[in-house]
Amino acid sequence: MSKILLAGTACAVLLAGALGATTTLQNYSLSPAFGSVQLRAGFLPDPHYRHLTAGGAIRAQSRFSECRGYIADAPDYSLYYTAGNQDLFINVDSDRDTTLVVNGPNGEWYCDDDGANAAFNPLLYWPNPRSGRYDIWVGTYSQGSGVPATLFISELSEHTRQSANAYPARRTGVDISRNAVYGNVYLNGGFLPDPHRVPLTAGGPLRAANTISSDCRGYISAAPSVELTYNGYSNLHIYTEGTADTTLAINAPDGRWFCSDDAIGTDAGLTFTSGQNGVYDIYVGTYGASQRNTTLMISEIQLGYNPGGK
- Label residue 22 by pLDDT band (50, 70, 90): very low
Query: Which pLDDT belongs to residue 1?
Result: 32
Query: Which pLDDT belongs to residue 167?
Result: 64
- Label residue 45 by pLDDT band (50, 70, 90): confident
Beta-bridge partners for 78: 36, 135
Mean local confidence (pLDDT), 253-259: 86
Using CA atoms, how far residue 6 sits from 14, 126, 153, 202, in Å, is: 6, 10, 19, 51
Mean local confidence (pLDDT), 267-295: 91
Please give, one letter per residue, the 3-state secondary structure of the chain.
CCCEECCCCCCCCEECCCECCCCCCCCCCCCCCCCEEEEECCCCCCCEEEEEEEEECEEHHHCCCCCCCEECCCCCEEEEEECCCCCEEEEEECCCCEEEEEECCCCCEEEEECCCCCCCCCEEEECCCCCEEEEEEEEECCCEEEEEEEEEEECCCCCCCCCCCCCCHHHHCCCCCCCCCCCEEEEECCCCCCCEEEEEEECCCEEHHHHCCCCCCCEECCCCCEEEEEECCCCEEEEEECCCCEEEEEECCCCCEEEEECCECCECEEEECCCCCEEEEEEEEECCCCCEEEEEEEECCCCCCCHHHC
Highest mean pLDDT among 9-23, 185-199, 202-216, 247-261: 185-199
Q: How does pLDDT run across 101-154, given as a tens digit for each residue?
A: 999 998 889 999 988 877 789 999 999 999 999 999 999 998 876 788 999 999
Query: Which pLDDT belongs to residue 16?
Result: 52
Q: How does pLDDT run across 47-79, given as a tens digit for each residue?
A: 998 888 899 889 988 877 788 899 998 899 999
Q: Which is more confidently placed, 229 or 289?
A: 229
- Label residue 15 by pLDDT band (50, 70, 90): low
Q: Is the confidence at residue 213, as pLDDT, over 80?
A: yes
Write down all domains in the chain, each with its CATH number in brackets.
4-167 (2.60.120.380), 171-309 (2.60.120.380)
- Label residue 294 by pLDDT band (50, 70, 90): very high
